[in-house]
A and B are shown apart, each in its own frame.
Chain A
Amino acid sequence: MKKAMLRAFAAGAGLTILSASGLAQTPNFSKYVALGDSYGAGFGSGCLVARHQAFSGPNVLARQLGFSDFQQPTISDPGIPTCNALLTLVPSVTFGPISTKTGTPTNLALGRPYDNLSVPGFKIADVSDTVSGGLADVVLRGKGSALNQALSLNPTFITLTIVGNDILTAPGAGFLLDGVTATPLAIFTAKYNSVAAALKASGRTGVFLGTGDVRQLPLLTAIKPVVTDATGTPILVGGQTVSLLGPRTTSTCSTAPCPLPPGTLVTLGANAPQAALGGKSLLGLGFGIPCAVAPSLPQCGKPLPDGSFSPPSTVNVGVLLYPDEVQAIDDRIRAMNDVIKAAASANGFIYFDTYALAQSLGATGFDMGGMHLTRDFVTGGFFSFGDAVHPSNIGYMVVVDAVIQLINSAYGTSVPRPDFSAALFTPDVPAAGTAGVGPLDTSVFFTEESWRAFFEEFPPYDPSLKVVLPAGSDPDAIERAPVVRVEPRRRDP
Chain B
Amino acid sequence: MTRPRRVPLRPVSVALVLLLLAAAPAFPSGFQLNTQGARATGMGLAFTAVADDPSAIFFNPAGLGWQKHFEVEVGSSFLTKTQGDFIGESPYPGFGRTEQEHKTTFVLPTLYVVAPLTSEINFGLGIFSPYGLGFRWDNAETFSGRFIAQNAVIQTADLNPVLSFQPLPAFAFAVGADYRFSKVQLERNQAAVNPFTNSVVDVAHIKLNSDLTDNHGWGWNAGILIRPVPQFSIGAAYRSKIKVDYDGTATFQQRLTGDPRFDPLVAAQLPQGSHPVTTRIEFPESINLGAAATLPAAFTLSLEADWTKWERFKSLDITFPDLTGRDLHRPTIWKNSWAYRVGLEKKFSDVAVRAGYYRDKTPQPIENAGPILADNDRDGYTLGLGYNTERWGVDVSDLYLKFKRLDTAGRSQDNFFGQYKESANIFAFSLRVSF
User: A85 to chain B: which residues have CB within 8 Å?
Assistant: 196
CA distance A88 to B97 in the complex (A): 35
- A370–B90 contact, CB under 8 A? no
- B90–A417 contact, CB under 8 A? yes
Question: Taking the complex as formed, is B341 at the interface, i.e. its CB lies under 8 A from any CB of chain A?
Answer: no
CA distance A384 to B193 in the complex (A): 12
Q: A369-B148, A419-B90, A424-B92 are in contact. Are A393 and B198 (CB under 8 A)?
A: yes
- A90–B91 contact, CB under 8 A? no
Q: Which residues of chain A in 52-94 are interfacial with respect to chain B, using CB atoms and an 8 Å cutoff?
A: 85-86, 88-90
CA distance A368 to B415 in the complex (A): 5
Q: Which residues of chain B in 121-176 are interfacial with respect to chain A, using CB atoms and an 8 Å cutoff?
A: 144-148
**In chain B, what residue has the closest Cβ to A383?**
B198
Q: A89-B261, A90-B265 are in contact. Are A369 and B93 (CB under 8 A)?
A: yes
Shortest Cβ distance from residue A86 to the other chain B in the assembled complex, whole angstroms: 5
- A428–B199 contact, CB under 8 A? yes
Q: Which residues of chain A in 9-57 are interfacial with respect to chain B, using CB atoms and an 8 Å cutoff?
A: 45
Shortest Cβ distance from residue B407 to the other chain A in the assembled complex, whole angstroms: 14
User: A380 to chain B: which residues have CB within 8 Å?
Assistant: 193
- B198–A392 contact, CB under 8 A? yes
Q: Which residues of chain A in 359-402 are interfacial with respect to chain B, using CB atoms and an 8 Å cutoff?
A: 367-373, 378-381, 384-385, 392-394, 397, 401
User: B200 to chain A: which residues have CB within 8 Å?
Assistant: 371, 381, 394, 424-425
**In chain A, what residue has the closest Cβ to B147?**
A370
Question: Taking the complex as formed, is A426 at the interface, i.e. its CB lies under 8 A from any CB of chain B?
Answer: yes
Shortest Cβ distance from residue A210 to the other chain B in the assembled complex, whole angstroms: 22
User: A153 to chain B: which residues have CB within 8 Å?
Assistant: none
**In chain A, what residue has the closest Cβ to B189?**
A370
**Interface residues of B, dominant DSSP:** loop
Question: Taking the complex as formed, is A203 at the interface, i.e. its CB lies under 8 A from any CB of chain B?
Answer: no
Inter-chain residue pair count (beta carbon < 8 A): 93
Most buried by A among B93, B95, B97, B193: B193
- A369–B199 contact, CB under 8 A? no
Shortest Cβ distance from residue B98 to the other chain A in the assembled complex, whole angstroms: 13
Q: A381-B200, A421-B97, A424-B200 are in contact. Are A368 and B195 (CB under 8 A)?
A: no
CA distance A381 to B262 in the complex (A): 15
User: B198 to chain A: which residues have CB within 8 Å?
Assistant: 45, 381, 384-385, 392-394, 427-428
- A89, A378, A393, A416: the one within 8 Å of B90 (CB): A416
**In chain B, what residue has the closest Cβ to A371?**
B191
- A373–B90 contact, CB under 8 A? no
User: B92 to chain A: which residues have CB within 8 Å?
Assistant: 368-369, 419-421, 424
**In chain B, what residue has the closest Cβ to A382?**
B193
User: B194 to chain A: which residues have CB within 8 Å?
Assistant: 427
- A381–B193 contact, CB under 8 A? yes
Most buried by B among A45, A88, A371, A401: A371
CA distance A401 to B91 in the complex (A): 8
User: B196 to chain A: which residues have CB within 8 Å?
Assistant: 85-86, 89, 429
User: B146 to chain A: which residues have CB within 8 Å?
Assistant: 370
User: B95 to chain A: which residues have CB within 8 Å?
Assistant: 416, 419
Shortest Cβ distance from residue A412 to the other chain B in the assembled complex, whole angstroms: 15
Shortest Cβ distance from residue A159 to the other chain B in the assembled complex, whole angstroms: 19
User: A418 to chain B: which residues have CB within 8 Å?
Assistant: 90-91
CA distance A141 to B95 in the complex (A): 38
- A428–B195 contact, CB under 8 A? no
Question: Taking the complex as formed, is B410 at the interface, i.e. its CB lies under 8 A from any CB of chain A?
Answer: yes
- B414–A373 contact, CB under 8 A? no
Q: A418-B90, A420-B94, A421-B93 are in contact. Are A370 and B195 (CB under 8 A)?
A: no
Question: Taking the complex as formed, is B188 at the interface, i.e. its CB lies under 8 A from any CB of chain A?
Answer: yes
CA distance A272 to B91 in the complex (A): 37
- A420–B91 contact, CB under 8 A? yes
Most buried by A among B91, B93, B192: B91
Most buried by B among A88, A367, A373, A419: A419
CA distance A371 to B416 in the complex (A): 10
- B97–A370 contact, CB under 8 A? no
**In chain A, what residue has the closest Cβ to B197?**
A427
Q: Which residues of chain B in 252-293 are interfacial with respect to chain A, using CB atoms and an 8 Å cutoff?
A: 261-262, 265
**In chain A, what residue has the closest Cβ to B415?**
A368
CA distance A147 to B398 in the complex (A): 70
Q: A89-B265, A368-B92, A369-B144 are in contact. Are A425 and B199 (CB under 8 A)?
A: yes
Q: Which residues of chain A in 159-193 are interfacial with respect to chain B, using CB atoms and an 8 Å cutoff?
A: none
Q: Which residues of chain B in 85-104 are interfacial with respect to chain A, using CB atoms and an 8 Å cutoff?
A: 90-95, 97
Q: A85-B196, A89-B265 are in contact. Are A369 and B90 (CB under 8 A)?
A: no
CA distance A378 to B193 in the complex (A): 9
**In chain A, what residue has the closest Cβ to B192?**
A379
Shortest Cβ distance from residue A97 to the other chain B in the assembled complex, whole angstroms: 15
Shortest Cβ distance from residue A403 to the other chain B in the assembled complex, whole angstroms: 12
- B94, B148, B197, B415: the one within 8 Å of A421 (CB): B94
User: A373 to chain B: which residues have CB within 8 Å?
Assistant: 193
Q: A416-B90, A419-B90 are in contact. Are A369 and B147 (CB under 8 A)?
A: yes
Q: Contact mask B385-429 → A, CB, 8 Å, 1/0?
A: 000000000000000000000000010001110000000000000
User: B261 to chain A: which residues have CB within 8 Å?
Assistant: 88-89
Most buried by B among A85, A367, A370, A378: A370
Shortest Cβ distance from residue B189 to the other chain A in the assembled complex, whole angstroms: 8
Shortest Cβ distance from residue A5 to the other chain B in the assembled complex, whole angstroms: 16
User: B97 to chain A: which residues have CB within 8 Å?
Assistant: 421
User: B414 to chain A: which residues have CB within 8 Å?
Assistant: 367, 369-370
CA distance A329 to B193 in the complex (A): 31
User: B262 to chain A: which residues have CB within 8 Å?
Assistant: 89
Shortest Cβ distance from residue A61 to the other chain B in the assembled complex, whole angstroms: 13
User: B93 to chain A: which residues have CB within 8 Å?
Assistant: 369, 421
CA distance A420 to B416 in the complex (A): 11
CA distance A401 to B89 in the complex (A): 14
CA distance A365 to B37 in the complex (A): 49
**In chain A, what residue has the closest Cβ to B188?**
A370
Q: Which residues of chain A in 251-297 are interfacial with respect to chain B, using CB atoms and an 8 Å cutoff?
A: none
User: B410 to chain A: which residues have CB within 8 Å?
Assistant: 417
CA distance A367 to B145 in the complex (A): 12
CA distance A368 to B148 in the complex (A): 10
**In chain A, what residue has the closest Cβ to B196?**
A86
CA distance A392 to B196 in the complex (A): 12
Q: Contact mask B183-218 → A, CB, 8 Å, 1/0?
A: 000001001111111111000000000000000000
User: B415 to chain A: which residues have CB within 8 Å?
Assistant: 367-369
Nearest 6 CB-CB pairings of A with B? A370-B147, A427-B197, A419-B94, A381-B193, A370-B148, A428-B198
What are 24 A-B pairs with beta-carbon distances under 8 A? Answer: A367-B415, A369-B147, A369-B148, A369-B415, A369-B416, A370-B147, A370-B188, A370-B414, A371-B200, A372-B191, A381-B193, A401-B91, A416-B95, A417-B90, A419-B94, A420-B94, A421-B92, A421-B97, A421-B144, A424-B199, A425-B199, A426-B199, A427-B199, A429-B197
Other A-B pairs beyond A368-B416, A394-B200, 16, CB < 8 Å: A86-B195, A368-B91, A369-B145, A369-B415, A370-B145, A371-B200, A379-B193, A384-B198, A392-B198, A394-B198, A417-B410, A419-B95, A421-B93, A421-B97, A424-B200, A427-B197
- List residues of chain A with CB under 8 Å of any chain B CB: 45, 85-86, 88-90, 367-373, 378-381, 384-385, 392-394, 397, 401, 416-421, 424-429
